[in-house]
Every structure is written in structure tokens, then in C-alpha cells.
Structure 1
Amino acid sequence: MTSTQGTHAPVKVPAGDDAFSHRLAAVADAVEAFLAERLSDEVQPGEIARPQRLMEAMRHAVLGGGKRLRPFLAVETARMLGGSESGALAAGSAIELVHCYSLVHDDMPAMDDDDLRRGKPTVHKAYDEATAILVGDALQTLAFEILADRAWQPDPAIRADLVLGLARSSGLGGMVGGQILDLGAEGRFGPVSLDVDDTLRLQAMKTGAILAFSVDAGALVGGATADQRAALQRYGLALGQAFQIADDILDREASPEAMGKATGKDKDAGKATLVDRLGLDGARAECDRLVGLCEEAVAAWGGKAETLREAARFTVARKV
């Protein structure tokens, strides 16, 4: 593997009534192959060594599980716009690495203290806490290395926009900022009372920002106009909100076996969720409303946007 490998075979997607699930699985397979290549033991130009324990733990954190919804959104948005599939796959895979890093750190005792992730031991359980911290650090920096590599995106302006977008959506004003608000909502830093707007802001940062940027990354790779990008940003923001609410519903209703991790912990920890604020029926109604906003945002693309419309419906109907 070298960083000069700038092409991948197109994702093969069967036609038919089940085209969406085939498409989702095909992109997930392509992402898995891409990430496995990036996480090989082969030392790359500019590197001194790849420590065995670190590489094994990184592969444990990343490979062999997950729907890969974030890269799927990047790939399908770029595809709809006629953009580079290999560029979108690389950008989406970088976003997936940031997502995986966040899960590794979120599972640790100081955060959510989880023993299972995707049906297997979390990284700090399979290895140790120090290794888990370093795995998260390494996944995050690898993500930005991929985005900055001209092999995947030759246009320097688009590369810069991708790096900037991922930094902002995952950093202090996005995911990380949302995570500390989430800890605060548990009362860790003193008494707190969040209303619906506060909860929506927290969730838009912690979960929604990265999902929304996945769509925006596809728009950037696909060469979207300013108006197209604005419409797709509306889609991404609504999708991110719907995803988190659906996740909160699953935390209440799904079994640990189905989810591959402990459930019901959010309620026990006093986390801020729309289920608490609106009730289960109200939360489901809000999901339906947000799916409508997603469909409205991509209406101008007609049939070309059907996969994105199905992605919104899948987000709220999923059982895991």
C-alpha cells in the first residue's frame, strides 16, 4: 500500500427492489477494504515504524463492524452529483475514522464506561486504557492524513475545505463540544436542567455535526454549487437530528444483543434525550417530521436523490 494509490474499483450495486440495502452493504464493503489497507502493518513513506500493538488495537476498533452510514452518505451524495467515487470513498472513510476514534474514547471509564461495542470488547477492555487513548489519537490523525492526501483529491481547494469541515464538525464547536455538554447534562459539573432547545443543540453537536458533514463532504467532492450545497446541508442537519432521536429510542427499546452494546444506560445516567422531553410517541413524530425535511431538501434532484431519501427513512426505521 502506498499513498499514491488514488483509485479504487467502482462500488458494484445490484439493481432491484432491495437496491438500497445492497447499496449500503456494497459501500460498507468498499469502506472496509479501504480502511484495512490504510491499517496494514506496512510502514508508509515518512513513517519510522508502525508499532504492532497499536496497529492491532486500531484494527480492533475499526474493522469488522458498523453500518458505515457516514461514508455511505458521502459516497451517495457525490454519486448523485456525478463526482469522483474514489474521492468520496476516501473522504467518507476519513470521517469514519473520526467516528471510530470518538467511540473508543466515549467507551472509556471516564466517559460512558462501556464493555461492549459492536458485540465485542471495547478497546480499553481488549487492551488497556492507555492503548485506547493512543488508538483514538492515531485514528484521528490518520483521518486528516487521508483528507490531505492529493492521491484522493487532486484539487487543493477541495482538500482544504474537507480538512476544515471535518475539523469544525468534530472539534470544540461540534462533536467534542457536544460530548462535554452531554457529560454536563448528567450533572457531572453541577446541577443542570436542559429544555428541548438545549437538548437539540447538544445532539446537533455531539452526533449531528459529523453526519451532516458526511453529506457536505460528498457535496464538496461532487462539485456542488452554492445553492446545491446549502440544500444538502439542510438535508444533513435534519438527518443528524433524526439519527440521534432514533438512537435514543433504540436505547430504550432494543435489546443489548441486538445493539451489540449495553442499552438503557442513557436513562440511568440521566443523559439529555428527546425521548425524555417528548416521550416515545413524541420522539417518533419528530423523527417523521425530520425525514420530511430531508425529503424536501433533496426534492430538486428528483429520482437521482432516491437513495438519500431512503437513507433518511432507514435512519429512523433501523432496529440496530
Structure 2
Amino acid sequence: MFQTRLNDVAAEVGAHLDDVLAGYPDQQVIHAMRYAVSGGKRLRAFLVVESAALFGAGGAMNAAAAVEALHAYSLVHDDLPCMDDDDLRRGQPTVHVKWDQATAVLAGDALQTLCFSLLAAPETHADGAVRADLVASMAAASGARGMVYGQALDIAAETAAQPLNLDQIIELQAGKTGALIQWSAEAGARLAGEDIAPLGAYAKALGLAFQIADDILDVEGDAAKAGKRLQKDAEAGKATFVSLLGLDGAKARAAELVEQAEAALDIYGSQAQTLRDAARFVITRDM
């Protein structure tokens, strides 16, 4: 049932992004943008939609599409030769491989601005203060205090004299992966004018569990299902949750974090069941 709901949200968000991009000129960069936002689990969008449903808040589809656009931009740039130099993403050639590096840079730039355009649109919320809060919080989550900061730490780790310790990896991943997941889970409360703290606590645990699960999949996963190259960190000699905690230890830690995430939702009772299911999903997925 959860997988069906996840798939339904993914399809709805994908259709919304298609509608938005249909209003743009027929240019190569637009084709690259559409290509970049296609596929994927759309977990971040799902968290937006379900957190909004928790409060009966409108505007979720624009906010969900916005975070998917931002996430896609980060992947397009992350795959570039100057970053991770990957040629496969979601089982397809990366944007710079299918087109070229310049197109990939421009497509990523345009997807980032699309995110903020969607959040600032009157259709997202009638109250300009709410829209401004969504924009400001997304800027913080995606910028030099959030996702970009985490990516910078990751790049620096490649040439560091010593591998990162556990606390340093947690800090890195809280920015690189966790910040957008947290924004997504809090978005519904922001749209509804409700307290974001419970969903923030949920998302912090969820985001870390998600990354630990990624590290586990990097060791045990199937590259065909993952749709990307695996074991890159091990090949580069970088520390991961698995290398520091061991495989069993990493699995146990991820399970503990899921319990923490679920506990943070107790205040919402049975209404938050799909969000609890999402927490379990992140450590049982195979891609």
C-alpha cells in the first residue's frame, strides 16, 4: 500500500513538472531539465505531500515539484566531471554524457531557479509571508549552510590526510542529504502555519537513516537496480557509516534512527502513518 502511494505521488509530481516545463521554449536546455527530473523515487516530494496532508494544507504540489527540481539540479551538478564524474544516474546516461557539460551546468542552474519560482508563485500559498518562509528555508537548506556545505565537505574529504570520523560524516551528511529531506518533511507544517519541530525531529532521524541505508546499498546493492555505479567511496578510500560501524552496526544504527523518527510522530497519532511507513521504507529499499 505504501509503495502504491509513493508511486502515485511520484506520477502526480512528474505530471506537474511536465506541465510547468511545457510552458518553456523548445530548447535543448529544457529537454535536459525534463530529462533530469524524470524517474527516481521522489521521496522528498512524497514527504512534502504527506506532511501537508497531515494538516490539510494546500499548495503541496508546487512545493513538492520545487524540491524535486532542486534535488535534480544537485544530481546533475554532482555527476559532472569536476565533481563525482559519474556517467550513469537512475539507469540512464547522466546529463553531461547525453548532451555536454555546458548543457548540464545550464540545466542544473535552471532547475535551481525553477525551484524558487515555484515556491514564490501565488498558487503555492495566498499569504506572501508563507511563500517567503518557504523560499528562505529552502535557500538555507540548499546553500552554504546545507546541501552545498555538505557537498563541499565531501569533496574536501577526498584529499584529506585522514578519513573522516563518525561525527564528521554525520555533519557532512546532515548537509548533503539531510537538509533537503528535513525541508521536505517540514514543508507541510510551513504551508499550514503549524509548529515544524516534531516533523523536524522526524526528518533529522530519517535523513541520517536514509544515508546509512545508502552506504549499506553501496556495499550490498545491485548496480542494475540502483541505476548508478556502486562502491565509489570504498574505491576512493573514503570513510562511510559501513566502514566505521561495520555492516551489522550500520544496519542496527539505521533501525534505531527509524524508531526515533517514528517516535517523533507520536503527537500526530494515526494520521502520520504514511510518514512512519516512509521511515521504514528508507532502510528496506533496494535502490
The answer for the alignment partner of 1:280 in structure 2 is 247
Q: Output the TM-score relative to the length of structure 2.
A: 0.97
Q: Output the TM-score relative to the length of structure 1.
A: 0.88
Q: Distance in 2 between matches of 1:316 and 1:158?
A: 33
Q: Distance in 1 between matches of 2:282 and 2:10?
A: 16
The answer for the alignment partner of 1:122 in structure 2 is 94
The answer for the alignment partner of 1:267 in structure 2 is 234
Q: CA deviation at 1:111?
A: 0.9
| 2:29 counterpart of 1:59 | no
Deviations 1:70-129 (A, max 9, x none): 010011011011211xx1121111011110000001111111111111111000000000
Amino acid in the other structure paired with 2:235: D
Q: Number of matched residues?
A: 287
Q: CA deviation at 1:152?
A: 1.9
The answer for the alignment partner of 1:153 in structure 2 is 125
Q: Distance in 1 between matches of 2:183 and 2:47?
A: 9
Amino acid in the other structure paired with 2:226: M
Q: Point out the structure with max Rg over C-alpha.
A: 1
Does the CA-based 8 Å contact 1:39-1:59 persist in structure 2?
Answer: yes
Deviations 1:157-215 (A, max 9, x none): 1101100111000000100010010011111xx42442111110001010000001101
Equivalent residues in 2 for 1:163-312, closer than 5 Å: 163-187=135-159, 190-224=160-194, 226=195, 229-312=196-279
- Where structure 1 has 5 or more consecutive residues not aligned to the other structure, the ranges are 1-17, 44-49
Q: CA deviation at 1:151?
A: 1.6
Q: How large is the RMSD of aligned CA atoms in angstroms?
A: 1.1
Q: Distance in 2 between matches of 1:114 and 1:162?
A: 31
| 2:12 counterpart of 1:34 | no
Q: Distance in 2 between matches of 1:219 and 1:93?
A: 17
Amino acid in the other structure paired with 1:215: A
| 2:112 counterpart of 1:137 | no
Q: Percent of pairs identical after alignment?
A: 52
1:74 to 44, 48, 54: 48
Specify the SS of the correspondent of 1:39. Answer: helix
Q: Counting helix residues as a fraction of each chain, which structure ranks higher? A: 2
